[in-house]
Structure 1
Amino acid sequence: MSTVGIATGAGRGMGLACARRLTRMVDTLLLVDRDEASVTAAAEDLTDSASGAAVEPFALDITDLDGLTRLAARVRETGTLRAVVHAAGISSTMGDWRRVITVDLVGTAMLAEALRPLATTGTATVCFASMAPQFGRLRPGPDLASVLDDPLDERFLDRLHDVLGPAVEDTGRAYAWAKHGVQRFVRQEAVRLGPAGARICSVSPGVIDTPQARQEAVRHPTMGMLVDRTPLGRAGRAEEVASVVTFLLSSEAGFVNGVDIPVDGGVLAALLGQDSPA
């Protein structure tokens, strides 16, 4: 049976770097991005350099339910779902608090729900989270945890605002809670997928030299501070994150499931010390 891979946020940056690796892992690769021009150009580039994989662009906003239904249908008619890289997301400078949480957390849950029926033995997914929850030392109480763990509730954003109050309207704070929600979601989804023989993990990149990170740095000079405090003394490269993602998708990581992997050059260790998460 033909194998199928999906890479979201694949028009540029880390999503594209991961997609390039996926061309060597699957027979057909669906490139997903909201920007149709970018994802079409990326598909053409990967087709020219791919190692045998058929590469198809798929213009889609990750929060579009009808579009996600079409994506799942395309996988079903093409083959067996083998690998998913969910890199699509926005930063705190790219929308208001509602948009940030909707894209980064609700969109993750929507994608997972659409693809869950296609999961089978050997299917592996990697979602992109962030270091932000660790830096913010987020520790939700029971009420907040209950809300975060139900991102598909139609009143999710209102419920989140009820618990967190006006503080959630700060887009940086909203971003941190959204990515914390992604990490929680991955743990729960691992339990749901396990009986099918499928796995899911997340990665939390440090400061990675991408167009989006450079945009963030203009608004947030602390990005430079994080690079300075990174023990390796530099920003990471998209290809380095893609290498970790590729391992997590591979059969060699067949018993790695439901965990978040920092890919940060050691900055969490430097800034949080003994308080950093295991």
Structure 2
Amino acid sequence: MSQPDLGVVVITGAAGGMGRAIAAAFARQNRQLILSDLKPEPLATVLPPGPDIALVAGDLAAPGYPAQILAALNGRPLGVLVHTAGVSPSMADGARVFEINFNATRRLVEALLPHFAVGGSAILVASNSGQLVARPMFDRAVRKILAGKSSLLMNLMLRSPRTAYPMSKRAVQLYAPHMAPAFGKVGARIVSLSPGIIDTQMGQLERKAGPEMDKMIGVTPVGRMGRPAEIASVVEFLASDAASYITGTDILVDGGTVAGVAAAGGVMKL
């Protein structure tokens, strides 16, 4: 699997479980890295700073966050954006969940778009929960938001973090095809990657919040939580030449949970 060194690799949420595994994978390729997370203390433990590793502590939801990443790029071409930063339903209210998981994602991607190298890629980490709410009425609400319009249904969904979270991830999934033409014009690609329940600190937090996660694991054909390294390996593939014909779509990596839910005759209850 060819891994061209087209430029800097930016990883958001780098101090999280998936972010750490992804950072380690690209470090093994000796890539130039910009690792970003909310606070400097946990971020500094991901990889030791060096000539090819820069650390950026910042709030993804802050208006000035994209400028922080651009400053760290310092005019260098952007080869890969791996955007793992986000919050789960137990971490914020509904409006904040959607603001961080989708609106801030959109601001970052669109600020970085002109800086991608030809052959570069953006990999936006969503969630299989977005696939579980993939229904026409919800997709219409998301597409209104993408078009800059308001949506009464979306406003209702944002009242609770338990409904705002899957809607924010469905928005990311639909954003990738929405942006694929613009990425194509600069010779780059964009995809979303939707993990299932991954054995990270955030994943364990959600398991403790209620029985829903364990029920989903129970219908997962693989029969367990995913591992951060299993997500990192897919990210490596998506950033490689082997994935050069993949853009504008969602890549589901969930051990078959969505299939298991469908086979059980249900969809996510909202």
1:234-277 CA-to-partner distances (Å, cap 9, x unmatched) read: 1110000110111001111000101111111111111114999x
Aligned match of 1:74: 72
For the residue of structure 2 that corresponds to 1:105, the secondary structure is: helix
Match for residue 221 of structure 1 among 211, 223, 241:
211
Say what the alpha-carbon RMSD is for the aligned residues. Answer: 2.3
Could you tell me how far 1:5 is from its partner in structure 2?
A: 0.7
Q: Name the residue aligned to 1:21.
A: 25
Task: Kindly state the Cα deviation for residue 134 of structure 1 after the two structures are TM-superposed.
Answer: 2.4
TM-score (norm 1): 0.87
Q: Does 2:110 match 1:106?
A: no
Structure 2: distance between partners of 1:198 and 1:27 = 18
Q: Deviations over 1:213-237 (max 9, x none)?
A: 0011110212111112111111110
Q: CA deviation at 1:74?
A: 2.3
- Relative to structure 1, the CA distance from residue 178 to residue 40 in structure 2 (aligned partners, 3 Å threshold; closer, same or farther) is same
The Cα offsets for residues 57-89 of structure 1, whole Å up to 9 and x where unpaired, read as 110111222231131132143x22111100000
SS of residue matched to 1:41: coil
Secondary structure at the aligned position of 1:121 is classed as strand
1:26 Cα offset (Å): 5.7
- In 2, the alpha carbon distance for the partners of 1:228 and 1:170 equals 25
Contact 1:14 1:242 in 2 (8 A): yes
**Residue matched to 1:50:** none
Change (3 A) 1:27 1:208: closer
Q: Distance in 1 between matches of 2:91 and 2:228?
A: 20
Q: Is the 8 A contact 2:121 2:188 kept in 1?
A: yes
Amino acid in structure 1 at the alignment position of 2:77 = T
Deviations 1:144-201 (Å, cap 9, x if unpaired)?
2443214xx5xx7xx34x3345443011111111111101111111111101110011
Greater helix content? 1
> 1:126/1:97 Cα in 2 relative to 1: closer, same or farther (>3 Å)?
same
Ranges in structure 1 where 5+ consecutive residues have no aligned partner: 48-52
Contact 1:204 1:263 in 2 (8 A): yes
Q: 58, 61, 71: which one pairs with 2:59?
A: 61
2:241 to 240, 251, 262: 251
Task: Confirm or deny: 8 A CA contact 2:196 2:253 kept in the other structure.
Answer: yes
Structure 2 unmatched ranges of 5 or more: none
* TM-score with structure 2 setting the length: 0.89
Q: What amino acid does structure 1 have at the position aligned with 2:60?
A: I
- Of structures 1 and 2, the one with the larger relative CO (CA 8 A, separation 6+) is 2
**Kept in 2: contact 1:3–1:26 (CA 8 A):** no
Given residue 73 of structure 1, which amino acid in structure 2 is its aligned partner? Answer: A
